[in-house]
Amino acid sequence: MLVYAVFSAGAATQAAEHLRCRNSVVVLWPKLSLCIFLSSCCSCYYISPDKKTWDESRKDCQARKANLVIIDSREEQALIKAFNKRTWFGLTDRQVEGTWRWVDGTSLNTSYWVKGEPNNLQGEDCALVDNTQQHPVVAWNDVPCNHTNSWICERKVMFFLTTLSLSKFHSL
């Protein structure tokens, strides 16, 4: 399996190390945050340097023609955790308390909640990756949606890079 990762900020260093240790290829570019291209799927990520509420974060993602990240594999969760930032992602139980749904409306099937979470203390309806957790994957916590945190946007890409030259991709 071949993976390309595209980074723009120093905050991506740990994620790059995570990819390198999996015999992947890491490529750095100044214009994009992170793109991962696998034979089965492709996503580009934006890792915010700012902090906003969950709703403001989602609106920012939508303005980028993306959405808050939907974490649908252990590898993706490990990658997101490796950024070592406390970040919003696209999971909420606002519609029905205790029924967690992704921003695309799908149900939560696999989760990476910290022990004792979600617990809905103080009306906690939005999920974030908690960078204070020592486990390499388990890191989800529910928090009030009006708190401010960084966020990660995901945009699915519908093409595979093998047909593009790296110089053409660099100019995107």
- For residue 135, the enclosing domain spans 4-170
Q: What is the DSSP string of 75-136?
A: HHHHHHHHT---EEEEEE-SSSTT--EETTSPBP-S--BPTT----TTS--EEEE-TT--SS
What's the confidence (pLDDT) of residue 79? 84
Sign of CA dihedral 129, 132, 136, 141: negative
Determine the 3-state secondary structure of 73 from DSSP. coil
- What CATH number has the domain bearing residue 154? 3.10.100.10
63's tokens:
């303005």
Mean pLDDT of 118-126: 95
**Phi, psi dihedral angles at 124 (to 5 degrees):** -85, 110
pLDDT class for 76, splitting at 50, 70, 90?
confident
85's tokens:
């930032």
Q: How many structural domains comprise the chain? A: 1
Mean per-residue pLDDT over the chain, rounded: 77
pLDDT in tens, 51-66: 999 999 999 999 988 9
What's the confidence (pLDDT) of residue 158? 61
With CA atoms as reference, report the closest residue to 18 among 70, 72, 81.
81
DSSP letter assigned to residue 158: -
Indicate the pTM of the whole model: 0.74
Q: Are 113 and 89 in contact (CB under 8 A)?
A: no
With CA atoms as reference, report the closest residue to 57 among 43, 73, 71, 69.
69
pLDDT class for 11, splitting at 50, 70, 90?
very low
Q: What percent of the chain has pLDDT over 70?
A: 67
Mean pLDDT of 19-28: 36
